[in-house]
Structure 1
Amino acid sequence: MGTDIHGFIECRHGYSADGGSTPFWQPAIELDQLYDHRDYDAFGSLFGVRGHQAGLEPLAPRRGLPEDVSETVARAHLGHGTTWISWAELAAADWDGAAPGPDAYLHRYRRRSPGDAWVFEERAFPVDRLAELSGLTPPRDRWPAGTEWRDGDVLLRVEPLTRRQTVHADTWAPVLSAMRVLAERHGGTGVRLVVWFD
């Protein structure tokens, strides 16, 4: 059975709902309006839920609901792995920092024509599957990072994952863009993503 993500982007206002001076949080948009995928690498890299084979320390694992969560989000919350992360934390993350060891999956690169730079395309099949298919015998501790195989304009490489490779731009861009725009008005610590899983 698969794991799905749910949640809201919340914004903090500098005044309370009853006109006082105490800031309060309110929902800006429900996550499923911006994101509707199952991206286990991202779930692991960001929140520590699934995707552990990436080997990256999650940015915001299992923090629970914020103490000052909005009533709307508190009522909607139903699941496990509940956590939250601010735009300030996402903006400050080391997106190009690599995991400490090689990924269990080969990374496939492609170039449009000879002489062009190799461009990361996706994580391909498991490294162990390469040995099975090709008859190659891997070293005792698998192939070291940097080992690669070329086939025309395709390159397969053993290497660590970066956080940028786990949080795929094509699926997460709407979420990150919405948070960035809201942070221009509310500040980096005044915008957060609250999520849970089922």
Structure 2
Amino acid sequence: MGTDISMYVEQRIGDEWYFVGQMVEDELHQYDPDDALEYRPESIYDRRHYSLFAILAGVRNDQEEPFEPIAPLRGLPDDLSAELQVWYNYALYDEIAGSPNPEKWFQTSWLTLEELARFDWYGKRKKINSLQSLTYTEVADTFFTEILQGLWEAYGPTSDVRLVFDFC
């Protein structure tokens, strides 16, 4: 069994955070309309990339020479957008406890675009073998070149936009 990442974008306007993205039909709803949500937020990044997990939050960072994470796991932000609050309450719901349980399946965290921009993606290197090392940008691959650079182009390196993500 592997670990996947799901990632969502939120933007702060004034004092409130808003989900920036698409709401899509939850495929489970057709099989269980009484229990499953009709719509769920669409993740901007759904991949299994253990090295990226290690860089973002130290998850699955059990290599002999571990990555330096941007920040440790933080859990979900207290001021989560309404859409993501509904989604995580549903996804993390523990029927035995009768309430959301963040430890049930997911490890969650978040980073602002400012934090991601301040991180030394080009200067930090990961030794692959005795002859080769890669920059963290090379390791992060399409997350860096497509997702992150696209968000920086759209919003700039701001603390008013954040990525909320989970490892499941």
Q: How does the TM-score come out when normalised to structure 1?
A: 0.59
Of 111, 128, 147, 1:175 maps to 147
Aligned twin of 1:86:
112
| Identical residues among aligned pairs (%) | 34
Is the Cα contact below 8 Å between 1:35 and 1:172 reproduced in 2?
no
Which runs of 5 or more structure 1 residues have no equivalent in the other structure?
15-22, 107-146, 148-156
Following superposition of structure 1 onto structure 2, how do residues 23-172 of structure 1 map, counting pairs within 5 Å? 23-29=15-21, 33-53=43-63, 55-77=66-88, 78=92, 79-98=105-124, 103=127, 105-106=128-129, 147=130, 157-159=131-133, 161-168=134-141, 170-172=142-144
Q: Distance in 1 between matches of 2:167 and 2:51?
A: 14
Which runs of 5 or more structure 2 residues have no equivalent in the other structure?
23-40, 93-104
Deviation of 1:192 after TM superposition, in Å, equals 0.3
Residue type at the aligned position of 1:4: D
Is the Cα contact below 8 Å between 1:43 and 1:50 reproduced in 2?
yes
1:32/1:61 CA distance change after superposition, 3 Å: farther
Q: Indicate the structure (1 or 2) with the bigger Cα radius of gyration.
A: 1
Q: How does the TM-score come out when normalised to structure 2?
A: 0.68
The number of equivalent residue pairs is 134
Q: What is the RMSD of the two structures over their aligned residues, measured on CA atoms?
A: 2.4
Deviation of 1:59 after TM superposition, in Å, equals 0.6
Deviations 1:33-75 (A, max 9, x none): 5323211101111121114325222112210111111121122
1:75/1:178 CA distance change after superposition, 3 Å: farther
Residue type at the aligned position of 2:158: G
1:194/1:176 CA distance change after superposition, 3 Å: same
Deviations 1:91-138 (A, max 9, x none): 111113335xx73x43xxxxxxxxxxxxxxxxxxxxxxxxxxxxxxxx
Corresponding residue SS for 1:9: strand
Q: Distance in 2 between matches of 1:25 and 1:7?
A: 15
Is the Cα contact below 8 Å between 2:137 and 2:144 reproduced in 1?
no
Residue type at the aligned position of 2:117: A
Q: Determine whether 1:12 maps to 2:12.
A: yes
